[in-house]
Structure 1
Amino acid sequence: MSPALPRRTPLPTRIARLGRVVTHALRALVIVAGRFRNLAYAERAVVNQRWSRGLLKIFGVEVKVRGTAPGVFPANTLLVANHVSWLDIFALNSVTVSRFVAKREILSWPIAGWLVKNAGTLFIDRSKRRDASRVNEQLARALENGGCMAVFPEATTSDGTVLLPFKASLFESAILSRGMVQPVALRYLDANGEPTTAPAYAGDTSLWTCIANILAEPSMTVELSFGTPLPATAFDSRFALSEAAREQIGAALTRSSDLPGTAERTPEDLRAEAR
């Protein structure tokens, strides 16, 4: 017997959620325009994590962690993940806060472009092959200075049902900084615990359509599966390092959710374990 289809969120609930999202976004504008830039990295991480968790809660998205998360702002760490949705950033930041590398087009987004720029995001122009060298230098410096940076090496989004080939260019920054690469796989599940494409921001899907699809879901779960950290010094090229990270993410995405030894933990569980 096939599982029942999850019900859709009533229209009044969607409107109420959207209003809360707008209020939450305005709160971010106030924070970033004010004291945020003067805070130390550790203080920024706390603010970023709280805001990300608040946004996910409004959308009814619960975070489940598999494996061992590397901490809130792990030093000299390049976080690499598959890319499904703009929600990926906030899901990752709810557990492991980092600065992201994003496509330059995001700068033109109203409000969001200004926010992510002033939150420390680095931007890459994918239409210019040489731009990767510039970004790699900035990434390497940030990592050497104790930063945690995050990239989506597929260089685009998918609907979450496939793992696209990785572009190895930005893995060079981890080699230059002699840093650590932390693979993490993202998977979205609906209220029935089945994989869902509702949050996917891929293909011809517009940002508004993507938001509407998320608002229509009564609840979702995003699984973050953290793999084994990869020391960049153990690899002779960025291509080998990229492939090793992709293999871990691919294995996590295909692993059955009921396998033993893959117990789910929430961010609250992680905080309790750290105490």
Structure 2
Amino acid sequence: MHRPTAWPTRLLRLFRLGVHVLRGIWLVATRYPHLSQPARAVLTQRWSCHLLHILAIKVRVNGKAPGVYPANTLVVANHISWLDIFALNSVTVSRFVAKKELLGWPVAGYLVKNAGTLFIDRNNRRDASRVNEQLAEALKNGGCMAVFPEATTSEGLSLLPFKPSLFESARLAHATVQPVAIRYQTPGGHYCAAAAYAGDTSFWQSMNLILATRAMVVELVYTEAIPPYDTALATRFQLSETARDTINQAMGFS
């Protein structure tokens, strides 16, 4: 078992992270409004890479990533941690769909809202229809969007059932669906529990676990994409099942 990082190291990481977040707020408030979406994507990618570097997290990519901001693409991934967003954005930048409760988070709520995140009320089944329309419109306009179909986080040791509702947007927009499997490991290739933000874990507890971890690897497995002509003909249930099976196999669970 690896020894945790020393307290001075944790405090230094936390300080650097705080400065980086403040810089992110400044960028979103001052530069984002004047940039094109491709330029925003490059800025977001660099910011996300730096955040992971501060936390000693290395990104390992398997498979063929579709690019920095692939047009008319719906990225779907399993969900383990709040780090998932930054891990994905360090390779393929997307606008995400998040639960509306995130709006109330200090700092993070401001950042994600102004970065173009769409919010869904998970307690209102009818809200999925509204979000699907917004997703489809964004995809048709050349956007790269992302959803976590599990609708919650897991420990990363199994894959939860996928909720098919938001796959309807890919059908409506005739979009490419890009499944991505996410897993967190030690540098030696073993399962790393420190990133998991599941159950009753608070954000501060999660942060402490990450700060105490000497180094971590987040592996992103880009599987074969579902092309537009297939998404147009499939039902949302078929798309959900296909994406889940693909991610399940990439995670080595079947």
TM-score, scaled relative to structure 2 = 0.97
Instruction: Look up the match of 1:19.
Output: 15
> How far does the alpha carbon of each residue in 1:135-159 deviate from its partner, in whole angstroms, 9 at most, with x for none?
0000000000000000000000001
SS of equivalent to 2:98: strand
Check whether the contact 2:68–2:92 (CA below 8 A) recurs between aligned residues.
yes
SS of equivalent to 1:140: helix
Instruction: Look up the match of 2:236.
Output: 238
1:169-188 mapped onto 2 (5 Å cutoff): 169-188=165-184
Q: Give the deviation of 1:192 after TM superposition.
A: 3.0
1:52-67 mapped onto 2 (5 Å cutoff): 52-67=48-63
Check whether the contact 2:158–2:253 (CA below 8 A) recurs between aligned residues.
no
| Count of paired positions | 252
Instruction: Look up the match of 2:251.
Output: 253
Check whether the contact 1:232–1:241 (CA below 8 A) recurs between aligned residues.
no
Show structure 2 runs of 5+ residues with no match.
none
Instruction: Look up the match of 2:197.
Output: 201
> How far does the alpha carbon of each residue in 1:116-175 deviate from its partner, in whole angstroms, 9 at most, with x for none?
000000000000000000000000000000000000000000011110000000000000
One-letter amino acid matched to 2:166: L
Instruction: Look up the match of 1:145.
Output: 141
Show structure 1 runs of 5+ residues with no match.
257-275
Check whether the contact 1:179–1:231 (CA below 8 A) recurs between aligned residues.
yes
Measure the CA separation in 2 of the matches of 1:151 and 1:37: 24
RMSD across aligned positions (CA): 1.1
Measure the CA separation in 2 of the matches of 1:156 and 1:53: 24
Measure the CA separation in 1 of the matches of 2:234 and 2:41: 33
One-letter amino acid matched to 2:182: L
Measure the CA separation in 2 of the matches of 1:192 and 1:59: 17
Measure the CA separation in 2 of the matches of 1:135 and 1:92: 21
Measure the CA separation in 2 of the matches of 1:183 and 1:97: 14
Out of 74, 78, 87, the residue aligned to residue 78 of structure 1 is 74
Work out whether 1:228 is the aligned partner of 2:224.
yes
Measure the CA separation in 1 of the matches of 2:207 and 2:10: 10
Measure the CA separation in 1 of the matches of 2:25 and 2:225: 34
Measure the CA separation in 1 of the matches of 2:123 and 2:108: 22
SS of equivalent to 1:230: coil
Instruction: Look up the match of 1:191.
Output: 187
Q: Give the deviation of 1:255 after TM superposition.
A: 7.2
Check whether the contact 2:61–2:220 (CA below 8 A) recurs between aligned residues.
yes
Measure the CA separation in 1 of the matches of 2:33 and 2:21: 17
Work out whether 1:89 is the aligned partner of 2:90.
no
Q: Is the alpha carbon distance of 1:159 and 1:255 closer, same or farther for their aligned partners in structure 2, counting shifts above 3 Å?
A: closer
